[in-house]
Amino acid sequence: MSTTIDATQQTTALTEDQADVLVRERAAESRNASRVLAGLTRQQKDDALVAVGETLVAHAETIIEANAEDLRRGEANGTSPQLLDRLMLDTARIEGLRSALRELAGLPDPIGEVVRGSTLPNGLRLRQTRVPLGVVGAIYEARPNVTVDIAGIGLKSGNAVLLRGGSAAASTNAVLVELIRTTLVANGVPAGAVQTVDDGGRPAAAAMMRAVGSIDLLVPRGGHGLIQDVVRNSRVPVVQTGEGNVHVYLHQDAPVERAMQIVHNAKVHRPSVCNAAETLLIHADAATAGAAAMTALAESDVVLHTDERAAALVPQLETVPATEEDWATEYGALEIAVRVVDSLDQALEHIRTYSTGHTEAIVTDSIAAQRQFVAGVDSAAVMINASTRFTDGGQLGLGAEVGISTQKMHARGPMGLAELTTTQWVVEGDGHVRA
Amino acid sequence: MSTTIDATQQTTALTEDQADVLVRERAAESRNASRVLAGLTRQQKDDALVAVGETLVAHAETIIEANAEDLRRGEANGTSPQLLDRLMLDTARIEGLRSALRELAGLPDPIGEVVRGSTLPNGLRLRQTRVPLGVVGAIYEARPNVTVDIAGIGLKSGNAVLLRGGSAAASTNAVLVELIRTTLVANGVPAGAVQTVDDGGRPAAAAMMRAVGSIDLLVPRGGHGLIQDVVRNSRVPVVQTGEGNVHVYLHQDAPVERAMQIVHNAKVHRPSVCNAAETLLIHADAATAGAAAMTALAESDVVLHTDERAAALVPQLETVPATEEDWATEYGALEIAVRVVDSLDQALEHIRTYSTGHTEAIVTDSIAAQRQFVAGVDSAAVMINASTRFTDGGQLGLGAEVGISTQKMHARGPMGLAELTTTQWVVEGDGHVRA
């Protein structure tokens, strides 16, 4: 339990070298644990997941106490009410964590799946099997539920996790990690399976990004600043998740009712998440559908940042003139940028310029337009006549979700358990040699 | 054709900023080209590949002249005969390049493959399709055939490539790139599909590693030093290839003849390549098999770097005492390190300590030992009773090979065309919104 010291009591910051040593030592422990994890049966992993959920509920009071410390510190530091709400854990949310862990236990084990297999003409028997990555690092912000989430997903996929949570949730995270580790050990899983480097502060986060060979994959979870910091500075492979400057394009034939419903759902259903729409592009000939969509948004108190032609479609509504910055903004709130375009090509050009590669949607019945849109958009997901809100592991049937990858390799789009694994070739012969 | 200036005439080195500008400008041109490439049919790509092969053969004299310049410069700089041989292109080798391009044209197109697909309970129709990565950067050394190789594989997989070859082959590469680009344009493929940044020298290579967002994937090809430099310094996602400190383990029951043949093939068949064996581990109870294998190696002039117990198995042979360094050495030559271990566990411990994660082999008929070995080895490929030389795209039936990935995400093991692609989700609805 040596790693779960009180992370709120950071004294002087570690030097770069000290942080490197700290991270390499912890990662070595993670590596040792990962060798045990790779060999656990599904039953062993599922039992441990269920047990962790029970422990959290049984110790809800302790967690809530620690969480209260974080909340007090946050209030004293002038943290916004929204962030305080994301930081907050109560009995209901802790029970939610237990449910999530139970659901995870119910999912199939990705490890051991045979992805490809064949017998070669020379008789060699090939199989490519799914194996854990090994040591997965996570750097994330305020929300303490991410601690439980990543620990659970890591365990189910056979990976050891090394966590660096935000200092705002330090007290809560320290207690959560301690409870998780104790429960794992009681269930025959090594404590090294879940470790934190929170006691190393920011220098430890930077050291994680340098830990090539010690950490196999780094997953940043949080806002734009955090993700960009990790993507730009990490030498360890990163899966970039969750940035969504998402577009909905209404083609010239977009049916009015369908356009209105999709745009409204994409923006208003849950404005703070990464698959929510941020820009509406309206073909000049889809004025009626565009106006209807904008009116529906305004009725749900969405602020419309419009170019002049979009504003002219809804003279009865109050709109804000859009600036260049608006096209690149992920509002994450009840705001949307709206632009009128003269063609599908112009829409695609706009999307290529401003998209973060997450999700784009088109509303049209034209097969030609659908095909051109799919081919012209370089994003993880394309929605045809459907809300952008469907880019989601749960919605697409993947079960647990690690995040939505906007990266172009490994995993792209919603990442389930399988996306936290890699593969190994096993080749069986009978003394085969190459001629 | 502005990018193919004479790369041998490098004047003063670019500053970091100048190199960044150069790489970003070229990469932007690559990005534009990649949009056209993504939409080409297989026929268009295959025609261009075949045409490039014909052009190279038709201009063999020009290529050989430029190559002679590189060879003269190499000789003057005291380059080793082996390296000069790798640098050299003659008519036969140029015809070999044409054959390779024709073979590439014969392979199925990875683009457009539907990887997964389903219809969800709510009627949404999902498909996950294979799409190009976009812009692939390559940093490589002396061998000019890599220029043609990567250009061809890039084109077939729908990616634009940005090349940085070694200065030793600068004249040859400049001519090759010019010929390729001219032929592509004549076949309706944009010249931006294949570009070099050789005129930017080393600073351009460093700038490629910083070009996050402009380059989607960086593939280093060459020796240990080059690969480690890219892996440690690149912020752009990298696929690490080709480092192989490969082990063969003879379990206690290893049949003598089979052990001898596999060890000999793994080491002697082609000692310079990454899937050649570098260390032989012999169970103490497999003394006869071990001695037979070592004797066979010695008869093929393999230098044996042995620990004391291994030396004692073959008192009649001349051996060199192994040092700690030998265990970590990828000889790439007729040399091998040999160690006697007391157990499979000890063999696994040795492999975990020194392996580069490429390929390991076990010779045994024990199912229990095979299973323990497969589970205990954290490498891209595991051979059971087969030579390590089978870790190869061609041997495993993948067709063209980009390299052998020792990285644990995206592609692991032999990388074919599909490993230079990513996927895109396409979701079709009929006005679907989330409730």
* B408-429 pLDDT per residue, tens: 877 889 888 988 999 999 999 9
DSSP secondary structure code for residue B286 in this structure: G
A183 CA to chain B: closest CA distance, Å? 26
Q: Which residue of B has its CA nearest to A411?
A: B410
What values do phi and psi take at B334, rounded to 5? -80, 65
Q: Are strands A114-119 and A160-164 parallel, antiparallel or unpaired?
A: unpaired
CB-CB contact of A255 with A365 (8 Å): yes
Q: State the Cα–Cα distance between residues A230 and A404, nearest whole angstrom.
A: 16
Contact call for A384 and B262, based on CB within 8 A? no
Q: State the Cα–Cα distance between residues B136 and B239, nearest whole angstrom.
A: 11
Give chain A's largest Cα–Cα span: 81
Q: Which residue of A has its CA nearest to B419?
A: A409
Residues whose CB is less than 8 angstroms from the CB of residue A332 and which lie 6 or more positions away in sequence, other chains included:
A271, A272, A273, A276
Mean pLDDT of B323-352: 97
Amino acid at A332: G
Q: If we measure between CA atoms, which residue out of B434, B118, B424 comes closest to residue A397?
A: B118
Amino acid at A251: H
Contact call for A261 and B212, based on CB within 8 A? no
Q: State the Cα–Cα distance between residues A8 and A27, nearest whole angstrom.
A: 22
What values do phi and psi take at A313, rounded to 5? -70, -25
Residues whose CB is less than 8 angstroms from the CB of residue B109 and which lie 6 or more positions away in sequence, other chains included:
B42, B45, B156
Contact call for A427 and B258, based on CB within 8 A? no
pLDDT for the residue numbered B8:
45
pTM: 0.87
Q: State the Cα–Cα distance between residues A406 and A402, nearest whole angstrom.
A: 12
Count of pairs with CB atoms under 8 A, one residue in A, one in B: 209
Number of residues written out for chain A: 435
pLDDT greater than 70 at residue A71: yes
Mean pLDDT of B246-267: 98
Domain assignments of chain B as residue spans, ordered by start: 16-233, 246-395
Which residue bears the tokens 């036969």?
B92
Q: Which residue of A has its CA nearest to B380?
A: A424
Res. A11 pLDDT band, cuts 50 70 90:
low
Q: Which of A380, A386, A408 sits opposite B216 (nearest CB)?
A: A408
A369 CB neighbours in chain B (<8 A) are none
- Hey, what CATH topology would domain A16-233 get? Aldehyde Dehydrogenase; Chain A, domain 1 (3.40.605)
pLDDT greater than 90 at residue B7: no
Q: Which residue of B has its CA nearest to A381?
A: B425
pLDDT greater than 90 at residue B407: no
pLDDT greater than 80 at residue B4: no
DSSP secondary structure code for residue B235 in this structure: S
B383 CB neighbours in chain A (<8 A) are 427, 429
Q: Which residue of B has its CA nearest to A232?
A: B235
pLDDT greater than 70 at residue A8: no
A35 CB neighbours in chain B (<8 A) are 376, 378
Q: Are strands A403-405 and A413-415 parallel, antiparallel or unpaired?
A: antiparallel
Residues whose CB is less than 8 angstroms from the CB of residue A79 and which lie 6 or more positions away in sequence, other chains included:
A87, A168
Res. B6 pLDDT band, cuts 50 70 90:
very low
Measured at the CA of A279, the angle between CA A310 and CA A349, to 5 degrees, comes to 90
CB-CB contact of B243 with B330 (8 Å): yes
- Hey, what CATH topology would domain B246-395 get? Aldehyde Dehydrogenase; Chain A, domain 2 (3.40.309)
CA A223, distance to chain mean position in Å, is: 11
A235 CB neighbours in chain B (<8 A) are 231-235
Q: State the Cα–Cα distance between residues B156 and B154, nearest whole angstrom.
A: 6
Number of residues written out for chain B: 435
Res. B11 pLDDT band, cuts 50 70 90:
low
pLDDT for the residue numbered A358:
95
Q: Which of B238, B380, B433 sits opposite A424 (nearest CB)?
A: B380
What's chain B's average pLDDT? 93
pLDDT for the residue numbered A416:
84
B407 CB neighbours in chain A (<8 A) are 237
pLDDT for the residue numbered A5:
40
Mean pLDDT of A237-253: 92
Question: What is residue B374's three-state secondary structure?
Answer: helix
Contact call for B424 and A389, based on CB within 8 A? no
CB-CB contact of B106 with B130 (8 Å): no
pLDDT for the residue numbered B243:
86
Q: Which residue of B has its CA nearest to A365?
A: B430
ipTM exceeds 0.90: no
CA A344, distance to chain mean position in Å, is: 30
Q: Which of B35, B237, B412 sits opposite A423 (nearest CB)?
A: B412
Q: Which residue of A has its CA nearest to B229?
A: A235
pLDDT for the residue numbered B227:
87
Q: State the Cα–Cα distance between residues B41 and B59, nearest whole angstrom.
A: 27
B220 CA to chain A: closest CA distance, Å? 15
A100-to-A150, A151, A415 alpha-carbon distances in Å: 11, 12, 16
* B84-134 pLDDT per residue, tens: 998 999 999 999 999 999 999 999 999 999 998 999 999 999 999 999 999
What values do phi and psi take at A425, rounded to 5? -85, 130
B431 CB neighbours in chain A (<8 A) are 255, 257-258, 261-262, 385-386
B212 CB neighbours in chain A (<8 A) are 231-232
DSSP secondary structure code for residue A152 in this structure: H
* A306-349 pLDDT per residue, tens: 999 999 999 999 999 999 999 999 999 999 999 999 999 999 99
Contact call for A422 and B408, based on CB within 8 A? yes
Mean pLDDT of B217-224: 87
Contact call for B126 and A232, based on CB within 8 A? no
B183 CA to chain A: closest CA distance, Å? 26
Q: State the Cα–Cα distance between residues A197 and A165, nearest whole angstrom.
A: 8
pLDDT for the residue numbered A12:
75
Q: Are strands B246-250 and B303-306 parallel, antiparallel or unpaired?
A: unpaired
Mean pLDDT of A46-68: 98
